Copies of this chain bind each other. A is one copy, B any other.
Amino acid sequence: MTTIGIGIVGGGYMGKAHSVAMQAVGAVFNTLLRPKMEMICARSPISAEQYRSAFGFARATDNWSILVNDPKVEAVVIASPQSTHREIACAALTLGKPVFCEKPLGSSLEDSQAMVSIAEQTGITNMVGFNYIRTPASQFARQLIADGTIGRVTYFRGEHTEDFYADPNSPASWRANGDANGTMGDLAPHMINGALALIGPIDSLIAEVETVHKTRPGKTGAEPVTNDDQAQMMCRFENGAMGHLFFSRVATGRKMGYAYEISGTKGAIRFDQEDQNALWLYTMDGPPAQQGFKKILTGPAHPDYEPFCQGPGHGTGYQDQIIIEARDFLSAIETGKPVWPTFRDGMEVNRIIAAAQRSSNEKLWVSVDTK
């Protein structure tokens, strides 16, 4: 058992999630490589010091370059804003340091392409964090599709819907501006990744991206909202399946609507992250009178489940997903074997987002003749 020095850039929501995960992963999974909490980077010296103390790092900085170049930092986790991903990741990879980067990979397709380019040139371990696909239930769904249990997929419907901005009276804030903070920047990447991971590459699409609430109350009256609230696309997968994806931050009542339904020629699958320990499976086997959707509770028989201190039905929380990511990242570094998803997988998500934006800008709809 050896140790590896970890540096985390960003101390906010995801920075904390990854810090907790790195602290726990050794005891949970008994990994060979044990993380050593070397340095955390945040916006100001004060906040950096607070995170250091709270999360148990040895040192703190407000300069990501110091972190990346520190000799004791042997691997870098990027949990800072999208716009910073490219620069930090490229610097770390160039120094030969493995990088785990939060989703979405880049703030543009071009950024992502640059990151993939360096990652593949250097051959250094690179991974992108789409945590929701890591639940035992969703990993089991991938397995069921891969082994043919539901036959050939004919339809996929996915959504990532939340309601944190559903109330039109919710005030304008940083959320109301910047592509990265809109629904396509913030929520869509998770389910686009899910669609690609479950069904495969997307060939073509037609999309609509919309700002539902054009203004929101600001300090001195109504302020314009300059990014998107919801978006949908119809798509066609390379394997011929028809698809529909929907993303929204104004989906009233939805708290964690990362959900999908998959129809195949021999069965069907349903999943909703709001009940993340259940996968619903229908198969055409057996007598017709006994056919129905089966609610399977994830347990030791399912992928990525057993190492937790958990019997069947005990439940997987958000943090558990991040710990699984930490395990896979450490394991890839140690063994040199490929990890999933790589920067290339992250880049594919940016490609779909770019195509959807392009499609939405064209106006291709058929008007319904109302004569």
Contact = CB atoms under 8 A, between A and B. Distances in A.
Interface stretch (A68-76, A98-106, A264-272): A264-272
Given A301-B288, A355-B369, A314 B313 contact: no
Main secondary structure of the interface of A (DSSP, over half): mixed
Contacts of A257: 313
A315 B316 contact: yes
Nearest to A135: B315
A81 interface: no
A236 B365 contact: yes
A248 B232 contact: no
Contacts of A320: 317, 319
Contacts of A264: 252
Given A248-B263, A355-B369, A317 B313 contact: no
B309 A16 contact: yes
A319 B56 CA distance: 20
B265 A166 contact: yes
Contacts of A276: 277, 315
A240 to B, nearest CB: 9
Interface in A12-29: 13-14, 16-17, 19-20, 23-24, 26-28
A208 B234 contact: yes
Contacts of A369: 351, 354-355
A340 interface: no
Contact of A293 (B201, B206, B295): B295
A292 B210 CA distance: 26
A369 B348 CA distance: 10
Contact of A246 (B17, B244, B352, B365): B244
Contacts of A284: 166-167, 252
Contacts of A318: 308-310, 314-315, 317
Nearest to A252: B268
Contacts of A53: 1
Interface in A257-308: 257, 263-268, 273-278, 281-282, 284, 287-297, 299, 301-302, 308
Interface string A1-40: 1000000000001101101100110111010001000000
Contacts of A230: 154-155, 242
Nearest to A22: B27
Given A27-B16, A30-B54, A295-B295, A282 B252 contact: yes
Nearest to A299: B255
A318 to B, nearest CB: 4
Nearest to A270: B253
16 contacts: A26-B55, A30-B54, A155-B230, A206-B206, A207-B366, A252-B266, A252-B282, A253-B268, A274-B297, A275-B278, A287-B301, A293-B294, A308-B318, A310-B318, A315-B317, A351-B370
Given A26-B55, A30-B54, A252-B284, 19 more contacts: A23-B24, A155-B230, A155-B248, A155-B250, A203-B368, A210-B242, A250-B263, A251-B268, A255-B297, A255-B313, A256-B311, A256-B312, A256-B313, A273-B315, A275-B277, A281-B292, A309-B318, A355-B366, A355-B367
> Which A-B residue pairs are the 10 nearest by beta carbons?
A255-B313, A317-B317, A256-B313, A253-B282, A292-B296, A314-B318, A17-B309, A289-B301, A359-B366, A253-B268
